[in-house]
Structures are given as structure tokens and as C-alpha cells.
Amino acid sequence: MKKIYFLILAFVFSFANAQTEGVLILNEGGAGSNNAEISLINNQSVVTNNYFKLKNNNATLGDTAQDIKIFGDKIFVVLNISNQIKVINKSDFTLITTISTNLDNPRYIAFSGDKFYVTNWGNNGPTNYVSVYNLNTYAHETNIPVGNGPEKIFSKDNKLYVLLKGGYGLNNFMDVINTTTNTVESQINVGDSPNSIFEKNNLLYIMSSGNPYLPTSFGTLTVYNTTSQTTVSSTTFPVGVKPSYMDTDGTNIYYMNEASIYKTPIASPSINTTPIAVTPITVNSYGTAYGFNVVNNKIYAADPSGYIAAGKIYAYDLQGALLNTFTVTSLPNQIIAYNNASLSTSENIKASKLTVYPNPASDRFFVQGLNSGNIQVYDVNGRIVINEKYNEKGINVSALSKGVYVVKITDKNINFSEKLIIK
């Protein structure tokens, strides 16, 4: 009997240890080469390249991977030249399905309710649009015409905010889409070539690079109020500064100009002249970094390595100290948080005897059956937005935007995840 007990115990521990956590690197690959891939860097800083191929019997991911997002138990990869979206099982990384309808130069993806939305450049003409799909069936529902060159797309409440970078030309607007009517209800000037967007406390922060071909056009940081639907402020960067990327840890804004990384508080953003780090990325006529993200309290900058060699990922702490350098595959362009824990299943609930309540929540949530442990809350982009110890007062979520999140609970042998809706 004792032998059986220890065998069961060993199985439980090996199952818990099988969980994978870290970051995923989306490698775009060479245009027309069909060599897009995903790399995994786990929490022990071990790199596994060609992770999709490894988990899918040597299958190829596709041509020119543009965007990657995690929503619930699924990973969505937008493939630009393939005109496809690959839907991948988050827990074992196997392919679920390939979507290839109503996609024409697809770029970026966002989620709202039971729908997902994909920006499309179209075929070098006035055919720019956002394609709408059902999250449950993957069926295409409609297309929403937008301005020229739709790129990043952000979802909040019943609105979509689409950055119009220009596609084959140049643009300087953000289209605001009403998801109830599937129409553009306003267009906001946010500066030439908008590249990045995030939200905190009902304010959108939008970074624009400026016209790369015009010596008198420089970067812009626009703050936009989603409640009043008005522009709060617009700050132009100094002469010569054309920032290429922006992200946040929830407290500070981090952005790149050429090979340098800068930092400024969200509460009082300013244009800094002293970088917190200078990356080894070569600055040339093709550009600088190829990707930039702040994930799990680390800054990641992606190096295209001259567009001919294997890409590099430089990891920094939030003060700008270099922590590690990783070699991935061709043209890394995005870094997102990853853990393969599934959302709650009947077995998971039975084993852990935990329940997150109230759900939906607006102020605080509690975990029935939990006295202590660590709570992490992930947003739809896989970014940790809450990371704290649990106590009898519960977890304050009043600062979070409405939407779907994942709550992860860890304590000794407990490893439990459940979907949480903020209303």
C-alpha cells in the first residue's frame, strides 16, 4: 500500500513539474520562405527553437508570422503572406485549425466578447478592412472597412481602436470602431506612422514614429480618453527622435529610439534624453530593433541580425541591466508571456477544490478553499497585470479594464487556473 502511495505521489509531482512557463518568441521568417516559427524561452532561460514544428510532427507554421496572441486556452498566430490564422492548443501546442477565409494581407488580431477581429491591408488598393470571426466556430461573419494601412488593433468595452500606419503608403490616424454596429464612428489624428498602443485607467497611450522619409516629422505620444472619446494630450518628440516601439509594465512606459531603450512614468509621461539601456542592435537603413515587449517584469528587444542570420533576443531588467542574450530563428518580432496551464476543468476543480468568486467581478474576487498562495492575473495579451500573495481580503481588481482574464493560483502542490471576467 505504501508503495502505491509513493507512486501516486511521484506522479502528482511529475505532473505539476510538467507545466511550462516562460515567453514565446514569434519569428516572422523571410518573406516567401515559409519558415515562420515560434521559440520558447522557459523560466530557466532554456531556448527551444522551432517549437511549433516540434509539437506538430515537423509541420511548417507558414509564411511571415505577423502577430501572436493568447486568448483563453488557445494561441492565435496571424500569417501575413500565407493569408492564414493558425489556432493552436495552448496546453500541448498542437494545431487546432487553420483559418484562411476573408484574409488579405492580415496583420494583427484582437478579441471582444465572442468575436475576434483581424486587420487587413488588402491587395494594394482601397480594400483595407477588419475581418470579424466567431470565437466558438471560427466562422467569418463580416468585414469592416477602415482607413489605409490598418495595423495594431486594441479592444476595450464595445470599441476597437485601429492604428492606421499606412500599409503601402503613410497614415496618421486611429479608427474607432463600434462593435455593436460594426462601423467606424470616428477617426483620430495620432501622428505619422502610429506603431504601439496600450490602455490604463480608461486612457489609451499611442506611440507614433513620425514619417521616416520626412526630416521634419518626428515621433508623437498621444493620450486618448476612452470614456469621453477625446484626445487628452499630444506630445511631439524632439528633433531627430523617431521612436519605433512602446510597451508598459503597468507603471512605466518603455520605448525604443534606434538602439536605445527609454523609460518614463505613466502618471506623468515625459520625453527622456538619457536611455536606461543601449542594445547591441545595429542601426542602419533597414531600421533597428524588429520587436520590443515588456513581459513579466523584463524588457525584451528583438534583433533581426542584419536580416540574414539567426535573430537575437536581449533581456533586460526594468532598470536597464542586461540579463541574458538568446539566439532564436529568423526575424523575431514579438515576445509574449506563456504558461501551458489549462483553464479550469472538472478534474482541476476536483483536485484543488478551489473556486474563484464572484465571477464576473468588478471590485474584488476571492478564492474559496484557499488560505494562502500566490495569485497571478493575466490579460488577453498574456501579460501579468496582478502578481501578489492571497489573503482574506481577496484580490482588488477595480483598476482592471472590463474583459476576460486568467487567474493562476500556485501554492505548494496547488497549480490552478480559471477564467475571470471583469465587468
Give the rounded percent of residues in the chain with a pLDDT score beyond 90.
Answer: 65
Say how far apart CA 193 and CA 176 lie, in whole Å.
17
pLDDT value, residue 416: 81
pLDDT: is 16 or 323 the higher one? 323
- If asked whether residues 335 and 356 sit together in one domain, one would say no
Q: Is residue 305 part of a domain?
A: yes
- The answer as to whether 319 is a domain residue is yes
pTM above the 0.85 mark?
A: no
Residues 152 and 216 reside in one and the same domain: yes
- Tell me the average pLDDT of the chain: 89
Please say if the pLDDT value at position 352 is more than 50: no
Residue 348: which pLDDT band, with cuts at 50, 70 and 90? very low
Residue 51 lies in a domain: yes
Residues 95 and 185 in one domain: yes
Are 139 and 172 members of one domain?
Answer: yes
Q: Indicate whether 218 and 192 sit together in one domain.
A: yes
**In this model, does residue 304 exceed pLDDT 80?**
yes
Co-location of 210 and 303 in the same domain: yes
Domain count of the fold of the chain: 2
Domain of residue 241, residue span: 21-339
What is the CB neighbour count within 10 angstroms for residue 58?
9
- Judged against a pLDDT cut of 50, whether residue 5 lies above it is answered with no
pLDDT in tens, 124-170: 556 899 999 999 999 999 999 999 999 999 999 899 999 999 887 89
Question: pLDDT tens digits for 369-382?
Answer: 787 888 989 887 67
Question: pLDDT tens across 102-115, in order?
Answer: 999 999 999 988 89
Higher pLDDT, 21 or 315: 315
Residues 318 and 358 in one domain: no
Residues 275 and 362 reside in one and the same domain: no
